[in-house]
Amino acid sequence: MMGGKPIRQNVIVIKLLVMTIVAYAVLGGIKVNVYADNRNNFSIQSLNRDGEVNQQGFYHLIGQPGEKQNIAIKVFNASENEIRVKATVNPASTNNNGIPNYAGEEEYDSSLKYRMDELISLENDEIKIPASDSVIVKATVSFPDEDWEGDVLGGIRITEEGEVKREQTVVHEVAYTVGVLLNQKESPLVENNLQLHEVSTGQRNYRNHIEANLQNNAATIIREMNIKAEVFEKENDMPIYTYDAYDLRMAPNSNFDLGIPTGNQPIEAGDYLLKLVIKADEKEYRLQKAFTISTTEARQLNQSAVNLTKNTNTFIRYLIIVSLTLVVLVFYVWRSMYKRMNNTINK
């Protein structure tokens, strides 16, 4: 404070609100993250069949093939102006941090049979809400027409429409997601099934990584997954990169790229072997896959990486070459001068 007057600051405060999906008989813990800023105009409440607040915050619906159930979400407008919100239905996927994601994907896993956006129909997907008022968003959930096993997981995502600009301050999109989990009545539980697919290289925040694609092709949520990763040079028993990841989760029928950081040393071209030890709920996996890094690939990654230290061996090699060159030049100059002096004396 200066001169008794407060300094105005445009500060964006991002609140991370977490809706925790706990399907007591099946899940144990899958989370829907809700991101909002400190100037959000609206909030939501999921409602039960009686129109009261659904205390769980999500819907775990159990039914029979062909059955339909209605659900509703109340959206509140806390502002002094009319707002527009958009509702979308998305299947659950898994992001590259190992967290279930409900924001929607351009392409879903090949093993996903029942998509939530094909099972839930919204009465309206674009809603006007008067100032200081609320509107109920209604939806109909249609269970698959045939018998199914396992979890069908997705969510209804609600966002405020329109680009918001306030005094040149960037305002993050406000989004709320209500999770929806479908199970068939008296259907047996399904075990997770992990597979290791393509192993490649890439960058995250301009830092080199080994990227290992992991797929859960079973219709079940992985609620706790720990991974130990080791990367070996071909025919070498000592790992050059190691990485441990804890408390990961996966949506059913989804895949993600596990990023294994390579540290501050340049990546070198060559043949490698990735080994993974994974504990996914009560199952353990030991997976491995060979892969190759080309010279061009390594050079391009190392050129754009921001955290690499100089290659000490290369620097020493250049230093030796330069030093030897200087020694030879000095010797040549000294020898030439010595011969001239001798010739002058002899004359």
d(CA 174, CA 332): 74
Q: What is the pLDDT of residue 170?
A: 54
pLDDT digit string (tens) for the chain, length 347 residues: 444 444 333 333 233 232 333 343 333 344 343 444 445 789 999 999 888 999 999 999 999 999 999 999 999 999 999 999 999 999 999 999 999 999 999 999 999 999 999 999 999 999 999 999 999 999 999 999 999 999 999 999 999 986 555 455 555 678 999 999 999 999 999 999 999 999 999 999 999 999 999 999 999 999 999 999 999 999 999 999 999 999 999 999 999 999 999 999 999 999 999 999 999 999 999 999 999 999 999 999 999 999 998 554 555 555 677 778 887 777 777 677 766 666 666 55
Which of 108, 283, 110 is CA-nearest to residue 189?
Answer: 283
Q: 86, 103 in Cβ contact below 8 A?
A: no
Residue 306's contacts (CB-CB under 8 Å, 6 or more residues apart) are 206, 207
**Residue 36 is encoded by which pair of tokens?**
């909002």
Q: What is the pLDDT of residue 24?
A: 36
Q: What is the pLDDT of residue 329?
A: 78
For the chain, the domains span: 42-162+171-184, 194-304
pLDDT in tens, 140-179: 999 999 999 999 999 999 999 865 554 555 556 789 999 9
Residue that is written with structure tokens 């230093």 in the block: 319
pLDDT in tens, 257-283: 999 999 999 999 999 999 999 999 999
The predicted model scores a pTM of 0.77
Q: What is the pLDDT of residue 40?
A: 74
Q: 148, 114 in Cβ contact below 8 A?
A: yes
Which fold would CATH assign to domain 42-162+171-184?
Immunoglobulin-like (2.60.40)
Tell me whether domains 42-162+171-184 and 194-304 share a fold.
yes
Q: What is the pLDDT of residue 343?
A: 64
Residue 201's contacts (CB-CB under 8 Å, 6 or more residues apart) are 208, 209, 210, 211, 267, 293, 297, 298, 301
**Residue 228 is encoded by which pair of tokens?**
């130990």
Which fold would CATH assign to domain 194-304?
Immunoglobulin-like (2.60.40)
Q: What is the pLDDT of residue 338?
A: 64
Give how far the C-alpha of residue 182 lies from the chain's centroid of Cα atoms, to the nearest Å: 24
